[in-house]
Structure 1
Amino acid sequence: MPYCEVDRYQAGDKWEGVRLFYRRYGRGATKVLLVIGLAGTHDSWGPQIRGLTGSMEPADGGDVPEPAARTDEEAAAPATATAPEEEDVGEGIEVCCFDNRGVGRSTIPPHKSYYS
């Protein structure tokens, strides 16, 4: 599953950081980052993704199963790195959207103070 690992920002905590779930759609030289608002998930961008890329097929894999409940230790585990893909060329658009902290498939911080 595609996750972006973010290190902790408060020293001395057992909690090691957050994992932000993201999804990429389409391919091309033009890059678009969609940032959702309050309590929305990456899935909320469906109509815009289809309009920009012409497809709802993820560029970084197929369907992702719903995650099981995670412990603090599992949430802080490093993600597996993937090999860089070929250089994007052409007139297409690549879209990236993500779930904010505490929403969707991203890590839920253990304390309210960890939200910004």
Structure 2
Amino acid sequence: MTATALKPTNRNDTWQPLCTRADLVAFSGVAAWLTTSAGPAQVALFYLPGHAQELYALDHFDPFSKAYVIARGIVGDIKGSPVVASPIYKQHFRLEDGQCLEEDEVQLRTWRVAFKGDEVWVEG
């Protein structure tokens, strides 16, 4: 799944604008509120310009520290996969699927995300 392949078609489907490209920080995360059918959610957006997939959206909640901090984690690469290390206890989560690398039974929720022009759209 690449960011350019996901093209939201209109504002009447499940895709919604969340922020703009200018709100993102390259090779880092930012937190945002997303309105979903289940209610509001805090999302951690990661922007990796120049990579095959530039945008990732994960749950902002860290299940180990029980705090909303994932967007503040350090972005890196483990065995060719982009990851974020939680800023509290340092568990690594793959950006592609939210899987924790240290605990197989822990996985963060992910959302499909794409650019539409300079807007960031999330399927929620």
- TM-score by length of structure 2 reads 0.25
Q: Which has the larger radius of gyration?
A: 1
Structure with a larger share of its residues in helix: 1
Structure with a larger share of its residues in strand: 2
- TM-score by length of structure 1 reads 0.26
